[in-house]
Amino acid sequence: MTEKHLDAELHTRGTSLYVDDVAPPAGMLHAAIYGSPVAHGRVKALRLDEARNAPGVVAIYTGEDVPGENQIGPVLPDEPLLATDLVEYHGHPMAMVVAETPEDARHALTLIEVDIEPLDVITCPRVAHEAGHILGTPRTFAMGDTTAAFADCDIVVEGRSDVGGQEHLYLETQRARAVPTEGDRIRVYSSTQSPYAVQKACARILGLPTHRVEVDVIRLGGGFGGKEDQATSWACLAALACQITGRPTQLVLHRLDDLRMTGKRHPYSADYKIGLSKEGKILAFEVKHFQNAGAKTDLSLAVLERTLFHSTNSYFIPNVRAYAASCRTNLPPNTAFRGFGGPQGMFVIESAIAHAAEVMGVDRSEIQKKNLIQEGQSFPYGQQAERARARRTWEEAETNFEIGSWQKEIADYNAKNAATKKGLAAMPICFGISFTATFLNQASALMHVYTDGSVSLSTGGVEMGQGLSSKLVRIAAQALRISPHRIKVETTNTTRIANMSPSAASATTDLNGSATILAAEELRRRFRELLARELGVQDAENITFEDEKVFYCDEPTDWTWEKLVAHAYLSRVSLSAHAFFATPNVWFDKQKETGRPFAYHVFGTAWTEVTVDMLRGTYTVDRVRLVHDLGRTLNENVDLGQIEGGLAQGIGWMTLEELAFAEDGRLTSHALSTYKAPDGDALPDEIDVRLLEDADNPVGPFGSKAVGEPPLMYGIGTFFALRAALRAAAPEAELAFNAPMTPEKVMMQLHHNRLRTLWETPPTSTAAPAAAGE
């Protein structure tokens, strides 16, 4: 049987449930949010009377109505739930309308008026940096001595690299439903990756102890990091209305509001300097990252840290100095997004290598290959590469995909064709797995076995399409040696699992799967003890389980799973187990900026081929072929889906997905008609994924490796493939390291200098000849 995604049957029948698919409780109210119409200003007046009197409106709430603390900042307390005196980005939530229908609530929004004294708007991180608008403190990772090393280099190049943000575009917008229960208690159904963050924030907002708020999550219609921290405010708002009105309240963001009000992947601007020997060894690298954090801290500091961790991607560079600052601007607070700052770090080193290769007149891949990190070499943060597979994935790609002849094909094609040009580029990746905030690397599982032998499993992990439930079922079944059909994964609920870490950092399966294994082991330990008594033997360790049957010294017994469970119940042996897992051997010293932050790294190498239409400046991504290190796969189909889906998002980020902001801080790519994520047509028809064989990972559950984030970074190769195609057409053109490489950038870089004389000098024959004969 092929491995399935356990929710897929429900999905294809349209019967799986998201927050607002559950039949609404009687009397449910609907909320809508009024966001600031300017990006920065002092609030002089907020006039709500007309809106209050609009049909269907039950109440309008502002920051002053918050019974607890008007504060939801997860790391630093700089984020009020509803802005009161100061608005700091366009769309900054200021008031909430609660009405009988969503239409009534949205209608009332149009009647709200506000007086805001405008203040200066900053959208560029460099400008913010200059002005000292820095969140937290800038960080520097250093290894070796770059100054001395540059003096020894044969080639030194410097430049600038810019990379845009990215809208998450989870198909299900942010939403939550809050339902009153008895007393001062409230139950919140939220589409969040972080139920505990929602629980804590709701309690803080409502002025209640945490245990009065129950958060329940069935599944998410996509998260990608966008619901790690930014699902919180919407859940708090629904909870606030529910608490005050005493009625169930639902808040579903309209797509336009979601786009306008929520943060995205951080755009970065960076300066780099790279030095190499004439043989192509990278000897020194310096980089300054200016992160565009948006208006609030959110998770920006953790994202910034990961940018530093991945500033040298898969390469060993002996002398490194990497600086990074989180710059406060008047954009919505940027937040987690698959890769979490890592991709932005990698884009800069890849730019620097491409730049150096062009100056040296060699193919970029030659330099990439020469510098791949090897066993025992150090990353700039002190951790050594263990079971380093950068070179292995590179070499397997080289042989599997016959890179030499592929490169030649491309060169021949370009020599023969003028109308279209092709580009080919390699993208190795190396991504660290673990939360870099070490304390988050913990998880719990709660396993109940019922007397009929069926099993209920709760963990702190959230199913958002990544296939967590399918993997947990597989892990639990394998750990208990029973059929997967007996296992059901429950909703993620704060009353069953306390203090859970967010489902993020690709680590959800690692952490919750490991906790699940421990819970199963605890049950098996109890069963062995019981069985030893029943079988009258001393050596409980020789009792084993396989295929729902019990063996003693490898001989079958007449005990089956069902018999065992029923007997355990009658013998008053607990059939429930709670287990706790903490990733061993991870730590980081922020004073020294060194440590061992990651349990392990994921490696891989991708090659991307593109074709550019030289006349129109449009392009296609033709094929991506890659070798990826998964450890031992837990569910090959699910893992393949993660790889392909991550790659697709990476390609989108590098090509079409352009967030446009006006100078006044307004998002102009404000709808799906103007923000374009890849559709089927925009992606390559050929995606060839090879998994590294024989690649056990002793620290992952059953030898597996995390898969969520790393594949996104293969998409970066698309940018460099496009650049290679442009180079083939215009070897001398000035090409910027500025992603995404939209068709506009292709066109402008190819043709603008050449063609603009057409309109800059008037036609010679202004008196056009009268049309002959007509």
Partner 1 sequence: MTTHVEFWLNDRRVITDVPDGMLVLDYLRKDRLLTGTKEGCKEGDCGACSILIGEVVDGVMRYQPVTSCLTPVGEMHGKHVVSIEGLNLPNKLNPVQQAMVDRVGSQCGFCTPGFIVSMCWYMMAARETPTLEGFQRAFSGNLCRCTGYAAINRASLDLVEQFGPGGQWASIWQADDRLGALMEAGLLPGYFAEMPKRLEAIGEMEEVPRDDADVIDFFVAGGTDLYVQKGELLPRAQVKILNRHPEMKGIRKEGDTLHIGALTTFEEFGASEDVLAFIPEIQDYLHLIASLPLRNRATIAGNIINASPIGDMTAIMLALDTTLVFARGETTREVELKRFYKGYKTFDKHPAEVMTEMVLKVPAAGTGVYFEKVSKRRCLDIATVNSAAKLRISDEGVVEEASLTLGGVAATPLWLEKTGEFLNGEVLSETLWREALRIAHTEMSPISDVRGSAEYKRLLATQLLTAHVVKAAPERVSLDAMLAI
Residue 322: CB minimum distance to partner 1, A:
31
465 near 451, Cβ under 8 Å? no
Residue 540: CB minimum distance to partner 1, A:
40
Amino acid found at 260: R
579 near 518, Cβ under 8 Å? yes
614 contact, one of ligand FES, partner 1, none, CB 5-8 Å limit per kind: partner 1
The Cα–Cα gap between 231 and 197 comes to: 9
Amino acid found at 414: N
SS3 237: helix
Site for ligand FES in 216-235 (CB under 6 A): 222
Residue 172: CB minimum distance to ligand FES, A:
8
Residue 70 vs 194, nearer CB to partner 1:
194
The Cα–Cα gap between 209 and 212 comes to: 6
Residue 139 vs 219, nearer CB to partner 1:
219
758 contact, one of ligand FES, partner 1, none, CB 5-8 Å limit per kind: partner 1
CA 122 to chain centre: 26
> What is the DSSP secondary structure assignment for residue 711, as one 8-state letter?
G
55 near 114, Cβ under 8 Å? no
Phi, psi values for residue 44, rounded to 5°: -95, -40
Residue 222 vs 710, nearer CB to ligand FES:
222
Cis peptide preceding 740, ω within 30 of 0: yes
462 near 508, Cβ under 8 Å? yes
Residue 299 vs 640, nearer CB to partner 1:
640
> What is the DSSP secondary structure assignment for residue 704, as one 8-state letter?
B
Q: Is the Cα torsion angle 112, 334, 338, 685 positive or negative in sign?
A: positive
Site for ligand FES in 464-493 (CB under 6 A): 465
When asked if residue 171 is in the footprint of ligand FES (CB under 6 A), the reply is yes
764 contact, one of partner 1, ligand FES, none, CB 5-8 Å limit per kind: partner 1
Residue 22 vs 171, nearer CB to ligand FES:
171
Residue found under tokens 């884009």: 347
Residue 35: CB minimum distance to ligand FES, A:
21
The Cα–Cα gap between 673 and 172 comes to: 17
**DSSP labels, 19-36:** GGGSPPPTT-EEEEEEE-
Residue 252: CB minimum distance to ligand FES, A:
12
SS3 720: helix
Residue 256 vs 535, nearer CB to ligand FES:
256
Q: How many CB atoms lie within 10 A of CB 359?
A: 13
SS3 596: strand
Residue 124: CB minimum distance to partner 1, A:
18
732 contact, one of ligand FES, partner 1, none, CB 5-8 Å limit per kind: none
Residue 588 vs 653, nearer CB to ligand FES:
653
Residue 44 vs 616, nearer CB to partner 1:
616
Q: What angle do CA 144, 147, 153 make, to 5 degrees?
A: 95
Residue 618: CB minimum distance to partner 1, A:
6
Residue 439 vs 759, nearer CB to partner 1:
759
Residue 679: CB minimum distance to partner 1, A:
6
Strands in 576-582's sheet, in edge-to-edge order, are: 487-489, 455-459, 442-449, 576-582
81 contact, one of partner 1, ligand FES, none, CB 5-8 Å limit per kind: none
User: Which tokens is 474 given?
Assistant: 């597989």
625's CB contacts (< 8 A; 6+ apart) are: 397, 400, 401, 606, 607, 686, 687, 688, 690
When asked if residue 711 is in the footprint of ligand FES (CB under 6 A), the reply is no
Residue 465: CB minimum distance to ligand FES, A:
5
503 contact, one of partner 1, ligand FES, none, CB 5-8 Å limit per kind: none
Q: Is the Cα torsion angle 266, 705, 194, 498 positive or negative in sign?
A: negative
Q: How many CB atoms lie within 10 A of CB 219?
A: 23
Residue 648: CB minimum distance to partner 1, A:
3
Q: How many residues bind ligand FES (CB under 6 A)?
A: 3
Strands in 57-62's sheet, in edge-to-edge order, are: 57-62, 93-99, 29-35, 249-252, 175-180, 186-190, 213-217, 492-493
Residue 665: CB minimum distance to partner 1, A:
14
> What is the DSSP secondary structure assignment for residue 460, as one 8-state letter?
S
- The shares of helix, strand and coil residues in the chain, as percent rounded to the nearest 5, are 35, 25, 40
5 contact, one of ligand FES, partner 1, none, CB 5-8 Å limit per kind: partner 1
683 contact, one of ligand FES, partner 1, none, CB 5-8 Å limit per kind: partner 1
Q: Does 732 participate in catalysis according to the annotation?
A: no
Residue 671: CB minimum distance to ligand FES, A:
11
The Cα–Cα gap between 602 and 132 comes to: 36
Helix axis angle for 636-654 and 716-729, nearest 10°, is 50
User: Which tokens is 254 given?
Assistant: 């309209």
Residue 164 vs 223, nearer CB to ligand FES:
223
Helix residue ranges, H only, 88-207:
102-109, 125-130, 146-152, 195-206
466 contact, one of partner 1, ligand FES, none, CB 5-8 Å limit per kind: partner 1
Residue 171: CB minimum distance to ligand FES, A:
4
105 near 32, Cβ under 8 Å? yes
Q: How many CB atoms lie within 10 A of CB 589?
A: 12
Residue 165 vs 222, nearer CB to ligand FES:
222
- Choose among 312, 308, 292: nearest CA to 300: 292
- Length of the chain measured in residues: 774
Residue found under tokens 């972080």: 194
What is the number of the residue whose Cβ is closest to ligand FES?
A: 171
763 contact, one of ligand FES, partner 1, none, CB 5-8 Å limit per kind: partner 1
User: Which tokens is 291 given?
Assistant: 């992160």
Residue 595 vs 641, nearer CB to partner 1:
641
Residue 176 vs 274, nearer CB to partner 1:
176
Active-site choice (663, 709, 760, 774): 709
Q: Across the strands, what pairs with 188?
A: 178, 215
The Cα–Cα gap between 431 and 508 comes to: 15
Question: Catalytic amino acids?
Answer: 709
Site residues for ligand FES per CB under 6 A? 171, 222, 465
